[in-house]
Structure 1
Amino acid sequence: MSATKLICRMGGLVRPSRVVIAASACVGLASLALAADVSNESSAVRGLLKTRLPKTAVSGVDCTKIRGLCEVTAGSNLFYVDGSARYLIIGRVYDMETRQDITAARLLEMNPDMLVGAAASANAAATSGEVQKAAAGAARADNVVPDSPRFLPLAELPKEGAIVWGHSAAPSVTVFSDFRCSYCRALSTVLRAMNVRVIERPISSLGSRDLSDRVYCAKNREEALHAAYAGEPIKAGPVCDTSGLDANEAFARKHGLNGTPVIVRSDGAVLEGYRPRPFLEKWLKEGRS
């Protein structure tokens, strides 16, 4: 047994001046041991993946972010495995405490020039055929992320959960948004300059549920909405019923809305991602013709 290990186990038998040094040594050794364990696990998983998925060029393995799971990147694609690399997961990981879509945030970090929804859709579509084949046999129908929709049944949504703004007598457009999404902010600027009535339905794809609650419970929701996009502080108002926001998020999950913004015409036709004004005006007009 080394001297350092002896001090760690018998710190009470040494003089106080040495206890501090011993404790520091123990903490340092523990940190080094933990880092080594994580590094070893990541290396082990990488090695196992070479055997199990020999045609997939794995570019990174990180076993530190989510307990029990290792994040695996293969180019611009993202999936997860357990520590034995036996179980492969293609899908979205949500943090239920922060209400953040960890997968969407990570995809945006990996693909900064892509929309969150576009990055997620691209990830699902471009994940190597080998990985998709490995996952297909174990996938249950009720656990598969739905494909991006072309039309949405807006009638399924309750009246609650919507923040209505813009020109009240103008044609309506529904937007599923996130107040921390820069493309949603850009879209809101475009829509403010157009002759439209916006029915905005916040969904917290980037962990913004607390902010959505504050906006929804504000005395003037439209004013609070634009303040949120501008990055201005939103004072917490009285507690209100936010079950409508829960309905928005349940609807988004059910219909495979993987990111924001999602723009829905009055006839249910869907656009995922930001679009400039000329495109939107033409697209909205097509829905009325």
Structure 2
Amino acid sequence: MISADTRLGHELARMRRMEGIPFWSLLASASLVVGMGAGVVAKSVHAAAPAIASVDTGLVREALKLRLPKTRIGAIDCSRFGGLCEVVAGTTLFYVDRSARFLMIGRLYDMETRSDVTATRLLELNPDMLAAGAAGRRDDDDAQPAAATPAAAKVDLAQLPAGGAVHWGPANGPKLVVLSDFHCGYCRKLSAELARMGARVEERPISIFGAESRKLSEAVLCAADPAAAAHAAYADQAIAAGRKCDVSGLDANEAFARKHGFGGTPVIIRADGAVLQGFHTAEQLKAFVAGGRA
């Protein structure tokens, strides 16, 4: 029987040449194995860390973009673990130093509280996947995450509610619905291309990167000017506290994404329900809107 630590070592040996979707699929699998090895976590962990100078997470994010250009980096937290920054990339959790030179995959253990911080955080980020992993985990080298629902090539936009959307762009521009996450780097790049082509965008946030993404989506949706707030979110600018508002539309967005197998962002949908996934240039988007292939 091969231990979780041994399997993790096998996966890490293949990291250098596998950046991109296959690379992070392996890391997600390894991280889930490590998390499940700690058993069921019943309470939240608040790791105690010595006081350190404030870290500019924007600089950490930029360094990671240079070193992992194909990876969608979500939330970054440098405030809790001494010299380490916690980084979320989809369902994967890893740690880097404050220069983002060194990357660590594995368990972070709080010796003072005797708690597995990594397992707790993974459970917070993706409880459904962890539960599935506990039920179906095998102990051989070929163990893989459960297969996701195949992504739909066409959807019925009538299934989406009126709420849960941020509208921006000229009213007479070509209309596109976009499923996005404000922590998604490719979504940020796409928003610039959508603006460049003059699209009328119906942006529907989904929380690919967990609780921090959901919190940001709610702040944007409830802002006095949601369109301006959406652009501010992509620019990593603070969003002024807004009014309390109905955020149930965000739940509908996420249910819609799960139903149609959309596990990443961005997802672009034209008026007839045809789907285009990933980042595309303004020229490609214009061809897609016209009924062709991007």
Please confirm whether the aligned pair reaches a TM-score higher than 0.5, indicating the same fold: yes
CA distance in 2, matches of 1:221, 1:212: 10
Q: 1:113 is aligned with what amino acid?
A: P
| 1:164 alignment partner, one of 167, 175, 188 | 167
**SS at 1:239 equivalent:** coil
Does structure 1 residue 112 correspond to structure 2 residue 68? yes
Whether the 8 Å contact between 2:182 and 2:188 is mirrored in structure 1 is yes
Higher helix share: 1
Q: Normalising by structure 2, report the TM-score.
A: 0.56
Report the CA distance shift for 1:249/1:281 in structure 2 as closer, same or farther (over 3 A): same
RMSD over equivalenced CA pairs, Å: 3.6
Whether the 8 Å contact between 2:72 and 2:186 is mirrored in structure 1 is no
Report the CA distance shift for 1:129/1:176 in structure 2 as closer, same or farther (over 3 A): farther
Match runs of 1:133-148 below 5 Å: 145-148=148-151
Does structure 1 residue 58 correspond to structure 2 residue 58? no
**SS at 1:59 equivalent:** helix
Q: Which runs of 5+ in 2 are unaligned?
A: 14-21, 39-43, 46-63, 74-88, 91-139
Q: Normalising by structure 1, report the TM-score.
A: 0.56
| 1:187 alignment partner, one of 172, 190, 198 | 190
| 1:276 alignment partner, one of 272, 276, 281 | 281
Whether the 8 Å contact between 1:217 and 1:238 is mirrored in structure 2 is yes
1:118-137 per-residue CA deviation (whole Å, 9 max, x = no partner) reads x97xxxxxxx99435xx7xx
Report the CA distance shift for 1:83/1:185 in structure 2 as closer, same or farther (over 3 A): closer
Q: 1:45 is aligned with what amino acid?
A: A
Report the CA distance shift for 1:230/1:155 in structure 2 as closer, same or farther (over 3 A): same
- Matched with 2:77 is none
| 2:257 alignment partner, one of 232, 252, 257 | 252
CA distance in 1, matches of 2:177, 2:236: 22
Q: CA deviation at 1:266?
A: 1.1
Q: CA deviation at 1:281?
A: 1.0
Q: Which runs of 5+ in 1 are unaligned?
A: 1-42, 51-56, 62-73, 85-95, 98-107, 121-127
CA distance in 2, matches of 1:182, 1:151: 25
Does structure 1 residue 155 correspond to structure 2 residue 158? yes
Pair member with larger Rg: 1
Question: Percentage identity across aligned positions?
Answer: 44
- Matched with 1:218 is 223
